[in-house]
Amino acid sequence: MTPKIACFFATSGHSGVDRVVKNLLPGMVAAGYRVDLLKIRRHGPQLTGEEHGVRVIELKAKHVYTALPELIRYLRRERPTVLLTDKDRVNRTALLARGIARTETRLSVRIGTTVSVNLASRGVIDRFLQRYSMRYLYGLAEAILIPSAGAAADFAAATGLARELISVVPSPIVTPDFATRSEDPIDHAWFRDGEPPVILGVGELSSRKDFATLLRAFAAMPGSSAYRLVIIGRGRQQAALQLLATQLDIADRFCLPGFVANPYPYMKQAKLIALTSRWEGMPVALIEALALGTPVVSTDCPSGPREILENGRIGPLVPVGDHRSFAQAMAQLLNAPPPREALLQAVKPYHLENSVARYLAAMGLPDSAGAI
């Protein structure tokens, strides 16, 4: 019988992880595997199973921990070959469920962020739980998957786990329909022909993304009056960013359209895409921008940007939180953008087929289910 890969996730529904999952799961189906998506009620990822060949199972639980009994029953009933999970709370629950279910399902846990920085931002109890589980429980998994070499090295240092237990697996970002989706019309007046060029930010409006630095950089950028700034995404920082734009006297050139299901047309038409994150694991928006041939400026945050941008060869890297240096880097890039072909070449590892093959190999599976 064709091997089954079960995927247990609980996401916001509008994050970079959601976009990765929406590409990865259909990619594994295309490789010949049966794929189940187990998800928590009112959580992402929002994936139409009928359209992609993925069986979507919505658990009755509203929280990750309370999904434990259902997950145990699923493992005993379905006995998938591999269970793939993401984020620490989900990973912990999966490790416990597999132990109680006593099945031979292999467990692959994914961590998509830079752990040391993420832990520093947590409360005392949450920090203890995460550090303990990563150090003492993750070694029970058959595979630990991390999307960048920098984040993998950080994880090993933070947890004390041997580096050879960790697989660096690039995220599947560039799909066959990527270019087609970028041609969709944009329902926003600032992206019409004849309008001033747009500098774009993409991501959750959170302190981690630090879009306040982007606003300050835009206000300080030489010649910024000839441009407009748009940030697509939603989150808790929305009101604070609107207020800051007013204080910086850029409110008439700044817009927060909210979450956009298909950001690719915006990214393709933008003059420049800016990433001001304090930390990442592997910034999806940065890869998407390069795949569309759009120049980028990024903070040199841990981890991912330096790897993607090849130590600054593909796009400038700026110290985290330094809005003046960021402003200068944007101005210089707008005046002298890199060759488009260099941007496209930099993201070859993140093409769907390449990434899916790396995921399957890390989970101990061949490129094609037919090879088993």
147: helix, strand or coil:
coil
- Other Cβ atoms less than 10 A from the Cβ of 63: the count is 14
Domain match, 114 and 218 both: no
**Residues 22 and 144 occupy one common structural domain:** yes
Q: What's the pTM?
A: 0.84
Nearest to 191 by CA among 133, 257, 240: 257
Burial class (CB in 10 A: 0-12, 13-18, 19+), 325: middle
pLDDT at 126: 83
**Domain check: are 367 and 321 in the same one?**
no
* pLDDT value of position 304: 92
Residue 121 and residue 216 in one domain: no
CA dist 86 → 94, 108, 214, 253, 269 (Å): 10, 9, 29, 38, 32
| Phi then psi dihedrals of residue 359, to 5 deg | -60, -50
Are 333 and 204 found together in one domain?
A: yes
Which residues neighbour 51 within 8 Å (Cβ) at sequence distance 6 or greater? none
**Confidence (pLDDT) at 49:** 61
Identify whether residues 27 and 155 lie together within a single domain.
yes
Question: Is residue 362 located within the same domain as residue 241?
Answer: no
Helix axes 211-220, 238-247, angle to 10 degrees: 20
List the CATH number of the domain containing 38.
3.40.50.2000
- Sequential pLDDT tens for the chain (372 residues): 899 999 999 987 777 788 889 899 999 999 999 999 999 988 878 877 666 899 999 999 999 999 999 999 999 999 999 999 999 999 999 999 999 999 999 999 999 888 888 888 888 888 888 888 898 999 999 999 999 999 999 999 989 998 889 999 999 999 989 999 999 999 999 999 999 999 999 999 999 999 999 999 999 999 999 999 999 999 999 999 999 999 999 999 999 999 998 999 999 999 999 999 999 988 999 999 999 999 999 999 999 999 999 999 999 999 999 999 999 999 999 999 999 999 999 999 999 999 999 999 999 999 887 776
Residue 50 confidence (pLDDT): 65
Containing structural domain, residue 363: 4-172+351-371
- The count of domains in the chain is 2
My answer on whether 327 and 187 are in the same domain is yes
Q: What is the pLDDT of residue 51?
A: 65
* Residues 45 and 156 grouped into a single domain: yes
Rounded Cα distance, 87 and 49, in Å: 22
Q: Which residues pair with 57 in a beta bridge?
A: 38
Are 187 and 153 part of one and the same domain? Answer: no
Domain shared by 159 and 132, yes or no? yes
* 211 shares a domain with 152: no
